[in-house]
Homo-oligomer: A and B are copies of this chain.
């Protein structure tokens, strides 16, 4: 992580009071017991966990973890918004309700982004003045993490959405990742401020003005390669582009590692070389291990929600819970609100219509 941690402590919780994180254990590839094991690890580090899932499958959880039997899973639901409404007993709905009602200060959902987003919009709700939540992914680049948002909470975006995403991402990087003064870039097809879609050019002008006003460390347009290039700590884009970028990165790295493995297995020389290289490569793989980042983060809600990847093991779930608690302790939601308020970027009119809709489309 770049720089030393100096997050805002505006509204931060007293470090001695244990915070409560609500966790939905359903949906992980390795089953609910793996999430439970992660909860146990996080509890050993002082977090209090409310664990919603099939009690019979969770195993021994130990002190600091309170199990609420909730066997119904929405993790594979084709229409999460509808499922969330019609299934109040589902684990993710119960977990989100615990956060909405103040019994927990943050949420972790192993059951996927769709279910988490729908349950949060309905039960945790958007933070005041937020147009639309965004899904932020800290990408483990060697040497630092780069937070890309939106990677798929929405699809298309408007100028005011991208402006809010910039502040939301910066507050997140500061409070949760400990980046002192996050550099924020706007993803485009060229570095010059006049390059990009109409949306990007307009949002860039807005963000440049905020930079001149000292409200945001905006570094201008960044290109696709800069996502892994370390030129910014936070990179803002719409959910369509962000989702494509995220999946492309996963695809390219998996394809390359697979091809290198194949190459190494193709000859005895290669096999021996691969064996000798393995410890060094393991260090590299640990450095870019997505589990270390806890998963993706739903920003723009009244509380922080974390969506670990379904394929994570216990270490990843534990990290998600610890990061969720850190976000609550450092009050990332309050810090976001304060920054948006200072930048006059809060939405003034309340959002009308369906409370569980994504926002003002």
Contacts and interface: CB of A to CB of B under 8 A. Distances in A.
A264 interface: yes
Contacts of A264: 277, 280
Nearest to A245: B248
B279 A251 contact: no
Q: Is the interface of A mostly helix, strand, loop or mixed?
A: helix
A195 B154 CA distance: 11
Given A155-B189, A240-B189, A273-B275, A263 B248 contact: no
B226 A251 contact: yes
A358 to B, nearest CB: 14
A287 B260 CA distance: 12
A53 B247 CA distance: 42
A229 interface: yes
A244 B187 contact: yes
Contact of A225 (B189, B247, B273, B278): B247
The complex is assembled from copies of this chain, and their number is 2
Contacts of A276: 269-270, 272-273, 276
Nearest to A195: B155
A250 interface: yes
A115 to B, nearest CB: 15
17 contacts: A155-B195, A155-B197, A188-B240, A189-B239, A197-B240, A200-B240, A224-B245, A227-B248, A228-B251, A228-B252, A229-B255, A256-B257, A259-B284, A259-B288, A260-B281, A263-B281, A269-B277
The 4 tightest CB contacts between A and B, nearest first, are A225-B251, A273-B276, A224-B247, A273-B277
Given A142-B255, A269-B280, 13 more contacts: A196-B240, A197-B240, A223-B247, A224-B244, A225-B251, A227-B248, A227-B251, A229-B251, A252-B256, A259-B288, A260-B284, A270-B277, A273-B274
